[in-house]
Amino acid sequence: MSRRIRKRSYWQDAPLPREQIVLIPRSLDDSIPADHPVRIVDEILDAVDWTSWEKKYHGSMGQPPIHPSILCKIWIFALMRRIRSSRQVEYALMHSIDFMWLASGRRVDHGTLCKFRRANSKELKQLFRSLVSMAIDMGVANLSELCIDGTRVLANSNKNKVWTLESIQKVLEKLDVQVNQELQELDRNDDHEESQTQDQTPNSLKEQLQEHLNTLQEMERYRGLLGKKTEGKPAQLPKTDPDSRILPNKEGGYAPNYTPMVATETMNGFIVEAQVEIGNVEHTKLHSIVEQVQDSLGVNVNRVLVDSAYTTGENLKQADDNQVEIIGPIPGVTCKDNPAMRDNPTVSLSREDALRLPKNPTSKKFDRSAFIYDSQKDCFYCPAGKVLEYRYTEKNTASRTKPIRRIYVCKGCHGCPLADLCRKNTQSKKGREVMRDIYDPHRDKHRKKMQTQEAKDANARRAHYGETQFAIIKGLIGIRRFLLRGIDGVNQEWLWGATAFNLQKLVGILRRSRLIGIVPGV
């Protein structure tokens, strides 16, 4: 009977010492499990047509380049692994077995990776749409109903370094003095060659600052049209990234931000359109995004789910004209079981019911929704049952941001028992005014539609499909702050993230299908 020989060391021996020669080396393919996501990423992107990418290469001169599909696979898989830096991708290609398998052992330097990411914006858009079309053909995406929303992402800019009208004008004045002094010095030296070199830098800087000055002036003009008070709060333009705008952060406070937007289909949540806007203008892009989806993918969009920022009167009117249904709450004061909605609006409400009426958050008095409009008689009825007749049309020609409004005035406010709830000055001779613009018929129609059960069910889906993609792109892909600068750079970066989001969703669907025995083609 043999006895076990006691080990000299307590610790486990290495199964494969580093200096040992391996007689049967393993291949890269043996190192990746059959159900690893990188295999499905490779399979999906191999089914894409890369002709437009290949046309950007010469085809016969120079060293053989790496095929664009390889570089694109590397970048998208890196984003799926929350790697955004080209240097970190370069490291992963040398040390991570899944990256080595995907690149077939190629070692790509960070400069090549960075240049490739920036140089293919048009082709990337085609790839993005190809993946969406692939999802439609597989039957896992339906674009008849979309959800459109926007968010804020920090710009790669210092929030403390900004231009204002005052600061930029001072710099321009100093530049003028500097240029004049240099020109006088050059005239004394009579050196024309030197004048061509030294006069170039101040003038180019002056042109750039003049563009920023024009932008700030336009921002101040727009703020004036909106009626914002600008005393002590001048418009600011970030110095590091002038395309960004100072906006409220999602986490609180103010900083240079961009406004990324996405349109998501509501079957499996694929992103079908992605773009970045400058400033807080997302509510003006609703119908342009719908048109882009319809034109680029050849589909008909019947319904769009949005939040209250998009249900403006202008958007509702355009939706009626384009026969596109909008589902979303209208901004304003909400009141459950509004007592103003009564069978006979000429009858006064009791004071108990009047206290439950919606109040304007600024004036703390009856909100406009407490007044009932009669379209046949073209008048309003107040909570006391009195008539507000049409008085005049407000002339608002100075501002293009607000429609012309019709003003209705009550003649029976004096001695009204509800005057203290309706007016700040109950003794004023001027009656309570209520306004109505050209978009109110569309708002009334939309409010009535939102009371139906079908609209309520559709609106309940909006929270999921309107926010999930932002949570994944920010949390799992890691785009909480842009790395690139300028609107073109951040648009590319956001589109790379949206493409990685869609590919990750396709990978998940294919893996689940194959686990239960369904093997769909791509």
pLDDT in tens, 319-333: 999 999 999 998 887
Question: How does residue 100 score in pLDDT terms, banded at 50, 70 and 90?
Answer: very high
- Top-confidence residue, 214 or 484: 484
pLDDT in tens, 237-294: 899 999 999 998 877 889 999 999 999 999 999 999 999 999 989 999 999 999 999 9
DSSP secondary structure letter of residue 179: H
Fold of 145-153+256-330+450-499: Nucleotidyltransferase; domain 5 (3.30.420)
CA-nearest of 246, 226, 244 to 234 is 246
- The answer to whether the beta carbons of residues 437 and 404 sit under 8 Å apart is yes
198-212, 401-415, 427-441: which is most confident:
427-441
46-60, 169-183, 438-452, 487-501: which is most confident:
487-501
Three-state DSSP at 283 gives helix
pLDDT in tens, 408-424: 999 888 889 999 999 88
**What is the overall mean pLDDT for the chain?**
87
Asked whether residue 166 carries a pLDDT value surpassing 90, the answer given is: no
pLDDT in tens, 433-469: 999 988 999 999 999 999 899 999 999 999 899 899 9
The alpha-carbon radius of gyration of the chain (Å, integer) is 32
> For residue 334, what pLDDT is reported?
77
Number of H helices, E strands in the chain: 17, 14
d(CA 130, CA 127): 5
d(CA 54, CA 123): 10
For residue 43, is it left (φ>0), alpha (ψ between -120 and 50) or beta? alpha
Q: Where are the domains of the chain?
A: 29-119, 145-153+256-330+450-499, 162-238, 351-440
> For residue 197, what pLDDT is reported?
43
- The answer to whether the beta carbons of residues 271 and 471 sit under 8 Å apart is no
What is the bridge-based pairing of β-strands 325-327 and 303-305?
parallel
CA-nearest of 505, 506, 503, 508 to 76 is 503
pLDDT in tens, 116-129: 999 999 999 999 99
Asked whether residue 60 carries a pLDDT value surpassing 80, the answer given is: no
d(CA 112, CA 173): 42
**pLDDT mean over 42-50:** 94
Asked whether residue 502 carries a pLDDT value surpassing 50, the answer given is: yes
Asked whether residue 24 carries a pLDDT value surpassing 60, the answer given is: yes
> For residue 230, what pLDDT is reported?
57
> For residue 503, what pLDDT is reported?
96
DSSP notation for 290-356: HHHHHHHHT----EEE--TTT--HHHHHHHHHHT-EEESPPSS---TT-TT--S-TTSPPPHHHHTT
pTM of the model: 0.85
Asked whether residue 195 carries a pLDDT value surpassing 50, the answer given is: no
Q: CB within 8 A of 293, min separation 6: which ones?
A: 143, 146, 263, 272, 273, 299, 301
> For residue 336, what pLDDT is reported?
79
28-37, 68-77, 367-376: which is most confident:
68-77
> For residue 198, what pLDDT is reported?
45
Asked whether residue 223 carries a pLDDT value surpassing 90, the answer given is: no
The beta-strand segments (E) located in 411-468 are 433-437
Q: What's at 324, amino acid-wise?
A: V
- The neighbour count for residue 109, using CB atoms within 10 Å, is 12
d(CA 423, CA 431): 9
- Top-confidence residue, 400 or 177: 177
Length of the chain: 522
